[in-house]
Amino acid sequence: MKVLIDSLNQIANAQKIGANIVICTHSKILEKVLFILTEEGFVRGFFKEKVGTSLKCYILLKYVNDRPAIQKVIFESRPGLKTFKKMERFE
């Protein structure tokens, strides 16, 4: 779970500075989340590559009208907390 949270933070920070690509540590759950983000149009795509002995994810960021496709990332977690929020689209 830490890899997923760190990767989403990296994506949000990279889009703030206008980067085109983010390189993250690979995990299966991150790959599934990236697949969904790609299908929903929040990132252009991603691919994985073996670098040395580890696997890395290369995430291609997307911008709409020179604004990041992902505007805000909110993490809400603590033991035993289960809340569901309605998704808001920023278009």
Going by pLDDT thresholds of 50, 70 and 90, the confidence category of residue 70 is: confident
Q: Which domains does the chain have, with CATH numbers?
A: 2-68 (3.30.1370.30)
pTM of the prediction?
0.77
Kindly report the number of other CB atoms within 10 A of residue 12's CB atom: 15
pLDDT digits (tens, 9 = 90+) for 1-18: 788 888 988 998 999 899
Average pLDDT score over residue span 40-51 = 92
Counting beta carbons within 10 angstroms of the beta carbon of residue 10, is it exposed (0 to 12), middle (13 to 18) or buried (19 or more)?
A: middle
pLDDT for position 48: 93
Residue 91 has pLDDT above 60, yes or no: no
CB 85 within 8 A of CB 73: no
Residue 47 has pLDDT above 60, yes or no: yes
How many residues are present in the chain? 91
